[in-house]
Structure 1
Amino acid sequence: MKKEFPVYDICKFSYSQEEDVIVKRFAPYLQAMRKLHFPHRHDFYHIVFFTKGGGTHSIDFEQFTIRPYHVYFMAPSQVHGWNFEGETDGYVINFSASFFKSFLLDSQYLEQFPFFSGNAALSAIDIPDHYRQQAIDILEKAVNEAEDTGKYRTDTLRVLLLTFFLLMAKATHQDDTVKAATHHNYTVLRNFEKLIEKEYLQQRLPKYYAEILCITPGHLNNICQELLGTSAGDMIRNRIVLEAKRMLIHLDMTVTEIAYSLNFKDNSYFCKFFKNQTGLSPESFRKNI
């Protein structure tokens, strides 16, 4: 009986069992990782750029069709699974959460990119034609550099990967999201999202988070409405619902066990909360999926 998701650290995917970054062509990587259990989580950033193949990919209940020149960005803790059809190839990038922090003055630099936000709807990018060869050239250089043992290997990989991320933001105009918001408000929102990720099982009121962020609950709510079109309270509730859905579908736990795991005092309160948010009871959601 599976009661929790497998959580893989980057060492599981590293031949040397100690790397903070892995850049490889996808076909041989996939062959070496056939024993992985799906769905699963990572504790590192995971990116796959397809040049060949088909099938489907799910990230936190968002279903995507795999096609050439699609790239998927997955942040730590997201749950995902693959269903491949035919021969599959491309590039894979794995890097630890700390990989860029010693290199960049701004330790939160990656958080400016919406595709690293943990929002599944922003995780998939269809690369426009005129950016495809440029993206492949960058990743080919990265694959070759990853196989090098020279003194500047790690820093060169950091530069190449940052170049790739900037290209993806430019290709999809996702950088406009950041430009449209004031830098301060966007920083507050990202810090709020990170706090929710750490505290949502215990703390469910916007007032608690606003106090830590040194702003009023009303200001926090205004920022969420401005940048995401939703309330601060809904952001907290959506995170609880997402975890409930993950557990209902992927784990062999009863609804009562899930309710207590999510820190609800009783099963009936959890069922009422879940139905209010989704329109379905937990059991109906599980059966429908």
Structure 2
Amino acid sequence: MLKEFSYKQFGNLNFTKETFEEGRLDSVDEHIKIIFLPKNAIVQVDFQEIELKTDSLLFINPKVVIKPCETKEGQLLHFNRDFYCIEIHDQEVACDGILYNNVFEIPFISLDKTQSEDIKSIVREIQFEMKNEDSNTEEMLRILLKTIILKSTRIWKQQHQLAEYDQQADVQFLRKFSKLVEQHYRTLHSVADYADLLFLTPKNLSKKIGLVSKSTPNDIIKERIVLESKRLLAHTKMTVKEIAYSLNYEDDAYFIRFFTKNTGLSPISFRKQF
């Protein structure tokens, strides 16, 4: 199901292996996504296969490569930025919020039984609204979508022990660093570059990131570059030299060594897998 309100688009699809094989997920590649996945589902996100131990929500930006490997009852909500992401939305729950700009981890939200039933109830309300054709439908869908994002942001904070009021500065810093890496990973490769943008020393940046992540800033930057390299190798016809240049590596031999060291495969060997 897909609703269109002028340039605004919002839709709902079953997220199953069959839907993927039919190519129906290709049509929403440019959309922002929320996926409900049942316990024991297996999904591949950016080349990493994950088996879920609980019912879960997954928050996906455009271009992220997702593939349902084994799930029968998954639900995919998808929307474009015209539908949700206008500037008046609260930053923390907008499309640049912590669930969508998180370079530290794949943004899964594990749900307990009560939380899962709550989310499934909202999805059913969304499906009911999708069948309506009145003047309130668009705003009702937007309210229900924002409710899911609000509830999920609250759960994420609780699970990461960042729910207390005096920890909000840590959450905001996490968002800020995530956004900077996402904006600049193609051109800025060193911890010092990001420390400068944040008006910190590299040592202080590492210390602050250490409060909220097991990964170092250097690891996070490298992992984002490697991920983009994998996407370009698997889903474009760009040469290794072109990919290296697009990621600000003038020496493609250096880029090949960097990629091989961090993945265990040369770029050509990785591409052959796909």
Q: Smaller-chain TM-score range?
A: 0.7 to 0.9
Residue of structure 2 in register with 1:223 after alignment: 208
Residues in 2 aligned to 1:69 and 1:49: alpha-carbon distance in whole angstroms: 8
CA separation of 1:36 and 1:23: change in aligned 2, threshold 3 A: closer
Identity %: 25
Structure 2 partner of 1:8: none
Q: 1:174 to 1:76 in 2, by over 3 A?
A: farther
Are 2:2 and 2:11, in contact at CA under 8 Å, matched by a contact in 1?
no
Code of the aligned partner of 2:44: S
Residue 42 of structure 1 and its aligned partner are, at CA, apart by 3.7
Distance 1:152 1:188, change over 3 A: same
Contact preservation (8 Å) 1:74, 1:118: no
The Cα shift of 1:168 comes to: 3.9
Q: Equivalent residue for 1:61?
A: 47
Asked if the contact 1:51–1:68 (Cα under 8 Å) also holds between the matched residues in 2, the reply is yes
The one-letter code sitting in structure 1 at the alignment partner of 2:121 is: D
Contact 2:93 2:153 in 1 (8 A): no
For structure 1, the 5+ residue unaligned runs are 1-12
Structure 1 counterpart of 2:33 = 46
Shift of 1:33: 10
- Contact 2:181 2:221 survives alignment (8 Å): yes
Q: Which residue is equivalent to 1:72?
A: 58
Task: After TM superposition, give the deviation of residue 159 of structure 1 in Å.
Answer: 2.5
Matched, 1:154 2:144: no
Structure 2: runs of 5 or more not aligned: none
Equivalent in the alignment of 1:238: 223
Alpha-carbon distance in 2 for matches of 1:32, 1:279: 29
Alignment-derived partner of residue 248 in structure 1: 233
Matched position secondary structure for 1:48: strand
Structure 1 residue 24 corresponds to structure 2 residue 24:
no
TM-score (norm 1): 0.73
Report how far residue 269 of structure 1 moved: 0.7
Residue identity matched to 1:57: V
Task: Tell me the alpha carbon deviations over residues 169-194 of structure 1, each in whole angstroms, 9 at most, x when there is no partner.
Answer: 56677554433783223322322221
Distance 1:190 1:51, change over 3 A: closer
1:193 to 1:264, Cα distance in 2 relative to 1, 3 A: same
For 1:190, the aligned partner's letter is R
Taking the aligned partners of 2:93 and 2:272, their CA distance within structure 1 comes to 41
- Residues matched between the structures, number: 271
- Amino acid in structure 2 at the alignment position of 1:73: F
Q: Where does residue 277 of structure 1 map in the other structure?
A: 262
TM-score under structure 2 length normalisation: 0.76
- Match 1:136 to one of 120, 127, 132: 120
On the 8 A contact 1:70/1:125 being kept in 2, the answer is: yes
Q: 2:15, 2:68 within 8 Å by CA — same for their partners in 1?
A: no
Quick one: structure 1 residues 279 and 89, their matched pair in 2 at CA, closer, same or farther if it must change by over 3 Å? closer
Q: For the residues of structure 2 that align with 1:132 and 1:149, how far apart are their CA atoms?
A: 28
- Structure 1 residues 64-73 or 125-134, which shifts more? 64-73
The secondary structure found in structure 2 opposite 1:228 is: coil
- Summarize deviations over 1:100-141 as a string: whole Å, max 9, x none: 44553x333347975434559543445333333322221111
Partner-residue secondary structure (3-state), 1:64:
strand
